Amino acid sequence: MRVLVISDVHANLAALEAVLADAQGDYDAVWCLGDSVGYGPEPNECVTRIRELGAIAVVGNHDWAALSRMDVEDFNPVAKRAVLWTREQLSAENMAWLGSLPAQPLVQGAFTLTHGSPRDPVWEYILYPATAAANYASFATAFCLVGHTHIPMLYVQQPETERKVRSLAPVFGRRIALGGGWRIILNPGSVGQPRDNDPRSAYAILDTEAETWEARRVAYPIEVTQAHMRAAQLPERLINRLAFGW
Ligand code: ZN
């Protein structure tokens, strides 16, 4: 099975559409690692699109905030404004769908899906090998898919010394083999708000039988999303950062 792996769409419809066009239907399923809303200007359009795709999804911290399951005071001021705006926008149907998503890691064959990390699914950021290393005991499958950091990355546990973990930045457009008995934590990056100094949308194509992973990037019309954000009076800082990919 070929899986389109997306994460952190953050209500950026132009980015989501660019990813879907780039993937050209070359997948049998869609897995979404959370934060479908928050920051961006099209929460309903994005959730509706993700639902139409029949995506298997988990909940992210921004989804939780939109659902009022947490105090917005935990967010910085600009994120908080976007959360409050998102709450007003979301239809009851889309709210219900977000509310139905699991907060606990979801197992699909050899893959565990979660937003932040397997030991702290909604909140923890896996940004360093040491954090990744501390998480291998919290999932039972060979592989774990995470989002949340908005940075495409792989964390590979060396089979000979279980504690040693290496981070590996992907080469975009190159398919790599995951097999060989290694346990790997994989992050596809963010569709709607990349933070690795590359403003293009990030996603991945996973082949679950061949056990291959291909990280990809695609440009999208950033100015379209920015114009919608301005019209919605979302914070200028959130509008500007899309152009820098940070
Ligand atoms: Zn996010």
Residue 47 lies in a domain: yes
Residue 165 lies in a domain: yes
**167, β-bridge pairs:** 155
Q: What confidence score (pLDDT) does residue 170 get?
A: 96
Q: What confidence score (pLDDT) does residue 73 get?
A: 86
Predicted model pTM: 0.97
Domain containing residue 28: CATH number: 3.60.21.10
C-alpha 148 to ligand 1 mean position (Å): 5
Q: Is the model's pLDDT at 162 over the cut of 70?
A: no
C-alpha 161 to ligand 1 mean position (Å): 32
> Percent of the chain beyond pLDDT 90?
89
Residue 246 lies in a domain: no
C-alpha 180 to ligand 1 mean position (Å): 31
Q: Under a CB-based contact definition with an 8 Å cutoff, are residues 214 and 223 in contact? A: no
At 17-45, the pLDDT tens digits run 999 999 998 899 999 999 999 999 999 99
Residue 202 lies in a domain: yes
Q: Is the model's pLDDT at 224 over the cut of 70?
A: yes
Q: Is the model's pLDDT at 200 over the cut of 80?
A: yes
Query: What range defines the domain where residue 14 resides?
Result: 2-241
The type of residue at 222 is I
Q: Whole-angstrom Cα distance, residue 43 to residue 87?
A: 9
The structural domain count of the chain equals 1
Name the more confident of 70 and 147: 147
C-alpha 230 to ligand 1 mean position (Å): 20
Q: Is the model's pLDDT at 161 over the cut of 70?
A: no
Cα distances (angstroms) measured from residue 26 to each of 20, 124, 205:
9, 31, 9
C-alpha 197 to ligand 1 mean position (Å): 15
